[in-house]
Amino acid sequence: MAIDRAEVERIAELARLEIAPERMGRMATELSAVLEFVAALGRLDLARLAPSTFAPAGTPLRADELDDRRIPAAEALSAATEHDDGFFLVPPIVENVNP
Amino acid sequence: MSAPEAWRLSATALAARVRGGELAVDDAVEAGWRGPAGTWEAEVRAVVHADPAARAAARPREGPLAGVPVLVKDNICTTDYPTTCASRILAGYRPPYDATVVSRLRAAGAVVVGKGNMDEFAMGSSTEYSCYGPTRNPYDLDRVPGGSSGGPAAAVAYGLCPLALGSDTGGSVRQPAAFCGVLGLKPTYGRFSRYGLVAFGSSLDQVGIFARHTGDLAAAYAALAGPDPLDATTRPGEAPDVSGWRAGVTGLSFGWPANLWREGVDPEVVGGLEEAAARLERSGATRVTFDFLPGEYSVAAYYLVATAEASSNLARFDGVRYGFRHADSADLRALYTRTRSEGFGPEVQRRILLGTYALSAGYYDAYYLTAQRARTRIREEYRAAFARCDFLMMPAAPSLPFRLGEKIEDPLAMYLSDIFTIGANLAGIPGLSVPVGLSRAGLPLAVQMLGPEDGEPVLLRAAAVLEAGGEVARLEGEDTPEFAWPTKR
């Protein structure tokens, strides 16, 4: 199945990526080639099979085990470009609707 | 042996000398830096973060790996070095915690001597997709070391350290090990903790080990394997005992799915495989021939499952909490988009897009669910094979190390270089690549062995037989043979 430029744009939007216009055509071609290749799976008889679940055999799901280790807030924040007073700083999230 | 020659020692021999007081810890840890790194590192570029002060800070004299220098791949968290996944988006990031595999290494006496180069976020098979530039193969500097763990593989190959850690999501330990002439083990899924390994494809990722000797692999495996309360996907119960790695292969049977290499595989790779099989037979193992599902199906399933998981796992890199942040964004949406578009390299973006597509409304059933059904089919194929033999033999890669730039413009060709390794990740089983000689042009030849879940002890027994019988091995006055070291050309 081929992907066109509009489709690349749609998925890039979902993935929060911006593909430069001059790279768009090439990306569409490359993704289409991979999708064409994976279509080979259609040759396998898979109808009777259940999809694999995340947890592989031998690693049954279990409850999280909490311990009392803590990373101090200042240390956790220190890797961020911008932080202030114990918070991560980001650009405005909502417009000021009631100035 | 004089201190400067200590870099030639196996990890276990080095640790024994440190524990016995015959070798100073400093001489053990620094041997590779004072010796072969001076010859090789400027051209090979295996290491992306190093710090003599951090190396000097640890002076362990006890433990099974006392004083053993270990290079750790740049996607495994360390408090004393940055962890950037060779990506601009994590520039300068220094984690506030050690990965469990790193704390277990340190507890065993090992010293982390730096961080190894890799394809960005472990997405690649050549270590060319790194924000630090490529690593080169010490056996031929015009060729790739394989990937994605090319830095750790090349470092062990040229003698910086006898052990290194990588990660293997689709072959990223076994394929570079094969290209660099060292051993590379991907354990059973869940045997090594993933806590502190930056996630790529969570149902496929495993930390793996590079070594030059089977005994070193066994020692490192024993130090690292076992349940971890910090990783819910570790296997409960004790890890299998690998101390019997010298037991030989008498009475074992190996599967020989020759249909897999009838075409599309370098004849020298096939020749190395046949010689290794004959050696195992002479040592008492039995060959069982049968056909196996072609590897193309594994590659196809993998590039949907792995990219789907990656698109989800890499959503956390948004410029807010760590690493690179685009400087000029008017709103939060723009901050995310610009940070990710400038922070991720082209291959990572390609895979995020593919995974997002496979998971998106209208395509989920056709792609993601189909791939997960195929994964079930592939697991059944391995289960049926292991009902007939103790382990499987096949190539680690279809070709010898390829030239830099040879596949970088063709993503699909790059993906197909993992055709023999990807199945083990989909099935969650252990795999080990073992060097078996050099090609006519002097490039490493290797074979891969795959075992059932918790089959590591059998794989190590077979590796020890191949290592001891290696026709290119040469004795250096130690109790273990050495694979031919690379020579400068």
Rounded Cα distance, B374 and B301, in Å: 6
The answer as to CATH 3.40.50.12280 being correct for domain B3-292+382-476 is: no
Give the H/E segment covering residue B297. Answer: helix B295-313
> What pLDDT shows up at residue B300?
97
Q: Which residue type sits at B297?
A: Y
Indicate yes or no: pTM above 0.90.
yes
- What are the catalytic residues of B? 73, 148, 172
> Between B318, B331, B370, which is nearest A46 by CB?
B370
CA nearest to A93, candidates B327, B341, B315, B334:
B334
> What pLDDT shows up at residue A60?
81
> What pLDDT shows up at residue B47?
98
Handedness of CA B116, B123, B325, B77 (dihedral sign): negative
Residue of B nearest to A54 (CA): B203
Helix/strand/coil for A53: coil
Please answer yes or no on whether B353 and A38 come within 8 Å at the CB atom: no
Are B105 and B136 a contacting pair, CB within 8 Å? no
Give B49's strand partners: B115
A69 pLDDT tier (thresholds 50, 70, 90): confident
> What pLDDT shows up at residue B4?
56
Residue segments in chain B with a per-residue pLDDT below the cut of 70: 1-4, 469-483, 488-489
Helix axis angle for A21-38 and B346-359, nearest 10°, is: 60
Is residue A96 assigned to a domain? no
Phi, psi for B52 (deg, rounded to 5): -55, -35
Length of chain A: 99
CATH number of the domain enclosing A32:
1.10.20
> Between A16, A35, A40, which is nearest B297 by CB?
A40
B346-367 core/surface letters (b: 16 or more CB in 10 A; e: else):
bbbbbbbbbbbbbbbeebeebb
Rounded Cα distance, B323 and B339, in Å: 10
A94 pLDDT tier (thresholds 50, 70, 90): confident
Helix/strand/coil for B167: strand
Helix axis angle for B456-468 and B214-224, nearest 10°, is: 160
Please answer yes or no on whether A11 and B357 come within 8 Å at the CB atom: yes
Contacts of A76 in chain B (CB under 8 A): 96
252-281 of B, contacting A, C-beta below 8 A: none
Please answer yes or no on whether B376 and A51 come within 8 Å at the CB atom: yes
187-206 of B, contacting A, C-beta below 8 A: 188-190, 202-203
Task: Centre a 10 Å sphere on the Cβ of residue A44 and count the other Cβ atoms it contains.
Answer: 17
**For range A71-79, the mean pLDDT:** 89
- Residue A13 belongs to what domain range? 5-42
Does A4 have pLDDT greater than 70? yes
Give B76's strand partners: B197
B282-307 core/surface letters (b: 16 or more CB in 10 A; e: else):
ebebeeeeeebbebbbbbbbbbbbbb
CA-based radius of gyration for chain B:
21
> What pLDDT shows up at residue B482?
60
Domain boundaries, chain B: 3-292+382-476, 298-374
Please answer yes or no on whether B371 and A8 come within 8 Å at the CB atom: no
- The answer for residues whose C-beta is within 8 angstroms of residue B227's C-beta and 6 or more apart is B234, B235, B236, B237
Rounded Cα distance, A44 and B7, in Å: 50
The greatest distance separating any two alpha carbons of chain B, rounded to the nearest whole angstrom, comes to 70
Please answer yes or no on whether A49 and B377 come within 8 Å at the CB atom: yes
Going from the C-alpha of A19 to that of each of A16, B88, B166, B337, B444, the distances in angstroms are 10, 17, 31, 10, 39
Give the H/E segment covering residue B391. Answer: strand B391-394
> Between A16, A54, A75, which is nearest B340 by CB?
A16
Phi, psi for B152 (deg, rounded to 5): -60, -40
A99 pLDDT tier (thresholds 50, 70, 90): low
> What pLDDT shows up at residue B2?
55
> What pLDDT shows up at residue B469?
64
Is residue A95 assigned to a domain? no
Q: What value of ipTM does the predicted structure carry?
A: 0.93
CA nearest to B306, candidates B260, B361, B374, B362:
B374
> What pLDDT shows up at residue B478?
44
Give the H/E segment covering residue B207. Answer: strand B206-211
Tell whether B382 is within 8 A of chain A (Cβ): no
> What pLDDT shows up at residue A64?
79
Domain count, chain A: 1
Looking at per-residue confidence, does B346 or A62 come out higher?
A: B346
Q: How many helices (H) and strands (E) does chain B have?
A: 16, 11
